[in-house]
């Protein structure tokens, strides 16, 4: 794959690290508690001359750890410091080896190296990741929170009015029948042509998930994501047999079991790929190619990241042929970002940057 970085192909590089904290527009409630901001590290690689670094070519990466998905903030910082030392003595591959299994740190280092190399070649990152054709847009879904029925329907209609043709509804925190009523109300409001997905965030028992599938099949829901705890692979396999036209997606289950485990149990129609949690867009691209050969659909989401990682995820989606609507419309969840967003949302699609590399600018103020 063209994203491989060999020491002999790259000049001597230096790696810089800058911590950041990005406040959210409103607190995000999770199983691990309330999140009010996203803390992480911006990484920059650039060419090292005999005297001092030159900024003729720069690559950017981002590590934004998230509890339950990646290593801790402190472990991520330590791994990045190792990479900073290793890149000087052992080059790019040494830097990647230094981050070990710390996935958020590896995401940052590998993205910065890929951005650098694609920029050197004056190639958009998605082409560097192996997409031969030009891709102008990738479809994205609107994510609708777990509000009351009328609020959910209103937000879904607002998303449709903004041009979204796919809405993902959060569920699993209330009574099952109430969730079914919410989905039914949204379907009535948006009509038959809008794709609906439901993400239950591991919130249901097997009996509840089966009941939900019966209702969702009638309501033309396309995907039910993670209805059971991640460990319940046999339950997912059984649900697939009872799912009708609804496809079963695994998100948390990808991290817990890996693709081998999921395929061995015949447990999913769709896998959700979060580059930050998988260790980089290069790793996620390889997984996407792999599962596509197994007739499993890959789609891409973020972990509420800053603009560097978010743009990387857009390029990843653009590198996946025939990718379905992805969860990339998350910039509005942040009250502040690392820099200007080069990705525009238009009519339910993300417009893919065509500049060299990632296409991000202004993220490293001097």
Q: Which residues are annotated as a binding site for Mg(2+)?
A: 199, 225, 251
Which position has the token pair 């396999």?
237
Alpha helices by DSSP H, the chain: 73-98, 103-120, 125-128, 149-161, 176-190, 206-218, 233-241, 252-265, 275-278, 281-293, 307-318
Q: Which residues are annotated as a binding site?
A: 199, 225, 251
Decide if 347 is catalytic.
Answer: no
How many Cβ atoms from other residues are within 10 Å of residue 72's Cβ? 13
DSSP notation for 149-205: HHHHHHHHHHHHHTT-SEEEEE-SSS-HHHHHHHHHHHHHHH-TTSEEEEE-TT---
> Out of 155, 168, 170, 356, which one is annotated catalytic?
170
Decide if 154 is catalytic.
Answer: no
Which position has the token pair 């030009």?
134
d(CA 333, CA 164): 17
Which position has the token pair 């090292």?
48
DSSP single-letter state for residue 366: -
d(CA 204, CA 202): 6
> Out of 168, 274, 347, 356, which one is annotated catalytic?
274
d(CA 126, CA 105): 21
State the burial class of residue 255 (Cβ atoms within 10 Å of its Cβ: 0-12, 13-18, 19+).
middle
DSSP notation for 301-340: B-SS--HHHHHHHHHHHHTSTT---BB---GGGBSS-SSB
Let me know: does 350 contact 314? Beta carbons within 8 Å.
Answer: yes
Let me know: does 328 contact 350? Beta carbons within 8 Å.
Answer: yes
Structure token digits, residue 9? 């192909």
Give me the active site residues, please. 170, 274
């Amino acid at each position: 794959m063209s994203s491989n970085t060999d020491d002999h192909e790259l000049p001597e590089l230096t790696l810089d690290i800058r911590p950041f904290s990005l406040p959210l527009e409103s607190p995000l409630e999770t199983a691990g508690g309330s999140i009010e901001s996203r803390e992480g590290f911006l990484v920059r690689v650039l060419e090292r001359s005999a005297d001092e670094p030159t900024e003729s070519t720069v690559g950017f990466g981002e590590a934004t750890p998230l509890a339950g998905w990646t290593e801790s903030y402190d472990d991520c910082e330590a791994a990045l410091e190792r990479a900073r030392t290793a890149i000087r003595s052992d080059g790019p591959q040494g830097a990647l080896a230094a981050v070990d299994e710390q996935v958020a740190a590896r995401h940052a280092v590998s993205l910065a190296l890929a951005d650098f190399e694609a920029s050197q070649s004056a190639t958009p990152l998605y082409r560097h990741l192996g997409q031969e054709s030009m891709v102008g847009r990738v479809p994205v879904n609107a994510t609708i929170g777990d509000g009351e029925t009328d609020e959910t329907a209103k937000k879904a209609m607002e998303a449709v009015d903004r041009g979204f043709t796919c809405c993902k509804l959060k569920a699993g925190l209330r009574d099952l029948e109430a969730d079914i009523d919410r989905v039914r109300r949204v379907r009535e409001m948006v009509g038959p042509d809008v794709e609906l997905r439901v993400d239950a965030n591991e919130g249901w028992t097997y009996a509840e998930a089966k009941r939900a599938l019966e209702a969702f099949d009638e309501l033309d829901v396309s995907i039910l994501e993670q209805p059971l705890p991640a460990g319940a692979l046999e339950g997912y396999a059984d649900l697939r047999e009872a799912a009708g036209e609804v496809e079963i997606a695994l998100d948390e289950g990808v991290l817990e079991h890996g693709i081998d485990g999921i395929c061995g149990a015949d447990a999913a129609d769709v896998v959700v790929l979060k580059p930050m949690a998988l260790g980089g867009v290069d790793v996620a691209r390889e997984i996407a190619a792999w599962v596509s050969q197994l007739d499993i659909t890959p789609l891409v989401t973020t972990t509420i990241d800053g603009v560097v990682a978010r743009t990387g995820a857009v390029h990843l989606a653009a590198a996946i042929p025939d990718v379905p609507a992805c969860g990339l419309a998350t910039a509005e969840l942040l009250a502040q970002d690392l820099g200007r967003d080069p990705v525009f949302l238009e009519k339910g699609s993300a417009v893919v940057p065509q500049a060299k590399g990632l296409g991000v600018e202004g993220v490293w103020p001097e």
